[in-house]
Amino acid sequence: MAVEVVMPKLGMAMKEGTVSIWNKEVGDSVGKGEPIASVNSEKIEIDVESPSEGTVLKITVPEGEGVPPGTVICYIGTPGENIDATIVEEISEPVKENKAIPIPQSESSVTTKTFPGRVKISPVAKKMAEAAKLDIEKISGTGPGGRITKEDVQEAIKNSRELDTPPRPEPVNIVVQAQPIIESKQIPVSGIRKVIAERMYNSLRNSAQLTMNMKVDVTDLITLQKQTAETVQSRYQNKLTVTDFIARAVVLALQEHGQMNSAYLDGKIHLHKSVHLGMAVALEKGLVVPVIRDADKCSLIELSGNIKDCAARARQGQISNEEMLGSTFTISNLGAYGIDHFTPILNSPETGILGVGAVNDIPVYKGEKIERRSILPLSLTFDHRVLDGAPAAGFLQTVKKYLEEPITMLI
């Protein structure tokens, strides 16, 4: 019997998964454990492996289509195997328990009317039919075993519109200026990209965002980093980065400026008791924000280890949805791309997000002398509904103080 491959559930909060790409086509041979497709939820993308050796008999969910977890996305079996028999057997299981209706054996006898009161229809097709207010009892299914597919519903919608369309008026000659034809390729917006698009738009629409910039002299910090590198490596098997020090400075500053560690919800400002630090990680298909929980209880070394672990697992697609929820403040670092100042968008409902640019060595006056100093650009975006410019600037100054006096982060 053909083996079902279903959409996996990538987290407790997952409601829909999307097939990003099929690595195999109908008729291709697959080995057990071989990746046959990539699927994604709102924040995670993983490879789906074949549960058995065989041949891809049918693909039921095309690329770019979202379906609920547990939905069959393809069948694997032996060439020439009858998939309809597998589908009939799945439907028959509850019927066997009731022992009320015999199961049809031939393909020709399988229709949507075989089981009274129950119509075979895919989840996506059912949603479309409900949205269009169509009676699924009146839709003819062309899928396996008479199953109503997405295409069947689209055809029914088209037919209903044609019936409802009033007679066309007499044509009127209108001169329309020809427009240049621009060739383009349409890319479906789904998975991570769709979530980012919605959240960034809603963030800007539902908050009063303002960005301020500041430059920080991190010359002494980089010197301290180099001086402690050997000790940190031998004792903790770790390497402290500038990002680690920035994260530590932000956590300490948030403890002094509680309003920045808050959220504006339902007309009230909610001050968080703990710091749950979001660290933005860029992936090939989008941006994810793993959360370092209770970052205010971590030492610099512990914070560094947590940041590296979360970033590594995010890039490998091994981080769960639950690990990317509940941040109270976010850091987004574009320094590796040579960016100076930029305007990060709030990760709603947070009050603040810190953008980190690239460290550059520039000549700076120190008294009467010119010295070579390492300068770090910072960009703070905050919600003006929660706090004003002066307290936001005070927070940024505190971050600057810790970074320019790095020894204070170790005491």
- The answer to whether residues 30 and 50 touch, using CB atoms and an 8 Å cutoff, is yes
Ramachandran category for residue 33: left, alpha or beta (phi over 0 → left; psi -120 to 50 → alpha): left
State how far the alpha carbon of 3 is from the alpha carbons of 51, 59, 247, in Å.
8, 12, 48
Q: HSE of 68 in the Cβ direction (CA atoms, 13 Å)?
A: 7
Question: What radius of gyration, in Å, describes the C-alpha atoms of the chain?
Answer: 29
Sign of CA dihedral 248, 251, 254, 260: positive
- Can you tell me whether residue 392 is helix, strand or coil? helix
Instruction: Write down the residue that tokens 């079902």 correspond to.
Output: 4
Tell me which residue has tokens 């427009």: 179
CA distances from 238 to 229, 252, 335 (A): 9, 22, 21
- Among the listed residues 294, 309, 361, 388, the single catalytic one is 388
Q: Which of 28, 294, 361, 384 is catalytic?
A: 384
How many CB atoms are located within 10 Å of the residue 318 CB?
11
Contact between residue 64 and residue 21 where contact means Cβ atoms under 8 Å apart:
no
Residue with tokens 């949603």: 127
Cβ(47)–Cβ(37) under 8 Å?
yes
Is 294 among the catalytic positions?
A: no
Cite the DSSP H helix spans in 237-373.
242-256, 300-315
Per the annotation, the verdict on 341 as an active-site residue is no
Show which residues are catalytic.
384, 388
